Structure 1
């Protein structure tokens, strides 16, 4: 029969650290109470555990550490120098655990908890502030941790647990996510005010086939929609600039760098004309998404219900 070498049978340092942590963690509060009282019976009474259970736990703790933590005299105990060193760190560790517990309880509080909420850059100037203002009329103490980013980045944060909910476009279709369509925006072809099409109110996208475009970078939902609409209109857009923010693109259109397909602006910008696109359904759907199976805290559940109640009325007219 083959025998394992001594090096194979020993735990690696990382495995040992994980195992010793699992062994020690349940006993740290017991140790702190015994050290504080210097008496096993009084500590057992405070912890509401049998004295025999507490005594055995301390013996196992010392055995696992390989160090004597207490000098015993009957049920009275005194810390050894090693025990005093261990106690200092244990007290800090338990205080951190308590702070962590207080923090997560506070975040889940129905009246004053926290919602981690992501949204698109184009939703930041008016839509999201108006939503939060309306929600806080009935939930004035709920707190928000806000993330403004493009769609794929927010979905990654949903999957990592950094976000509870996000407003995104296009509405995602993925097995690990739940998404609900809330509203849509009609996209407009934005041209400089001295452009050959500027005198028009409506335009077919195919009429801009020879133009250069300024667009958002690949990975942005609006860029994908732009590419798809141009392909549907029979051309591939020539890209002069790829950016990260819609209003920057409007400024570049005003400067004559190209044309752009964009949702309506929060505030009208001088130097550009915004044309309705006909012949195609040129819209951007906006939806809310969350991680499937992820339990909601009460404030998250309340905000989710609020968003779903705004279907068809999420965006300003």
Structure 2
């Protein structure tokens, strides 16, 4: 089906005038053109839109339904035209963004840079906190949008979420570790190794769930909130780690190398995305942020 915007406009004119003759006067076109447009619409929709009678045209039930959608279609087109005609560098407003610690370091910077280059006059306020507190701020209307692990969201009745990228988990190990000779590692091969747990963004809770499902208990030697600490400890042989690939870098701050290996078991990927309050009317600044975030994840996301 390919609905013509011109035919939709003609349909609205006839519906408002309740006659083809009245529509010709407002549109300043011939009656035959409008008649053909209505016939074409009815054929494409597979429904009769008007009941014809001697005095004019009356909308059928299907016609009333389509009229509502027709107005929405034309409004959406007008909004798109206005958005494209406006210069992004002149747009102003305020945007309140919540981020969890992992998002601050490994997803936000380049996204924020991209947004600010396109919309330099929009004032951005950032709040970093735990996922549960960001949910509270979103529900209260204190945040416009939040970047977080959307698979962990609890208040799904009050919040809407969109996944921007899904990140696999991998095993981090030092460059001289015997297990690096294997292409992929099973959890049973890792269970007896010393493990370092990262506590940010509920990553530790996620990994514990996998261990329980596998009937294994990890030998945790250290729990930390520092990604750089994990990177350095793994690189120097203090233990292994299982972390999202988003966080991986091949070198520690001191220049020690670490490597990654895939996990043989099918592990649920980490869903990273955006959340906002359900039913709220998003500001133009928020809508543009979502557009930039989607584009950013397409061009820079890992799969």
- Correspondence 1:269-284 to 2 at 5 A: 269=251, 270-284=256-270
Whole-angstrom CA distance in 2 between matches of 1:225 and 1:313: 27
For 2:142 and 2:224, how far apart are their aligned partners in 1?
25
Deviates more, 1:172-181 or 1:302-311: 302-311
Contact in 1 for aligned 2:102/2:201 (Cα 8 Å): no
Q: Secondary structure at the match of 1:220?
A: helix
Distance 1:245 1:290, change over 3 A: farther
1:209 corresponds to? 191
In structure 2, do the counterparts of structure 1 residues 273 and 303 end up closer, same or farther at CA, with 3 Å as the change threshold?
same
Aligned length: 207
1:83 aligned residue: none
Does residue 1:241 correspond to 2:222, yes or no? Answer: yes
1:249-268 matches, within 5 Å, as: 249-264=230-245, 265=247, 267-268=249-250
* Partners of 2:184 and 2:123 in 1: CA distance: 43
CA–CA separation in structure 2 for the residues paired with 1:223 and 1:313: 28
Q: Give the 3 Å change call, closer, same or farther, for CA 282–259 of structure 1 in structure 2.
A: farther
More moved, 286-295 vs 300-309: 300-309
Displacement of 1:301: 2.4
- Classify the secondary structure of the residue corresponding to 2:204: helix
Tell me the alpha carbon deviations over residues 28-58 of structure 1, each in whole angstroms, 9 at most, x when there is no partner: xxxxxxxxxxxxxxxxxxxxxxxxxxxxxxx
Of 196, 200, 211, the residue aligned with 2:182 is 200
- After TM superposition, list the pairs within 5 Å mapping 1:35-114 onto structure 2: 111-114=91-94
Shift of 1:147: 2.6
**Do the aligned partners of 2:161 and 2:275 also contact (CA within 8 Å) in 1?**
yes
- For 1:303, the equivalent position in structure 2 comes to 289
For structure 2, the residue ranges without an aligned partner over 5 or more in a row are 1-89
In structure 1, how many angstroms separate the alpha carbons of the residues matched to 2:158 and 2:110? 29
Does the CA-based 8 Å contact 2:197-2:241 persist in structure 1?
yes
Greater Rg over alpha carbons, structure:
1
Deviations 1:63-84 (A, max 9, x none): xxxxxxxxxxxxxxxxxxxxxx
- Compared with structure 1, are the counterparts of its residues 289 and 203 closer, same or farther at alpha carbon in structure 2 (3 Å cutoff)? same
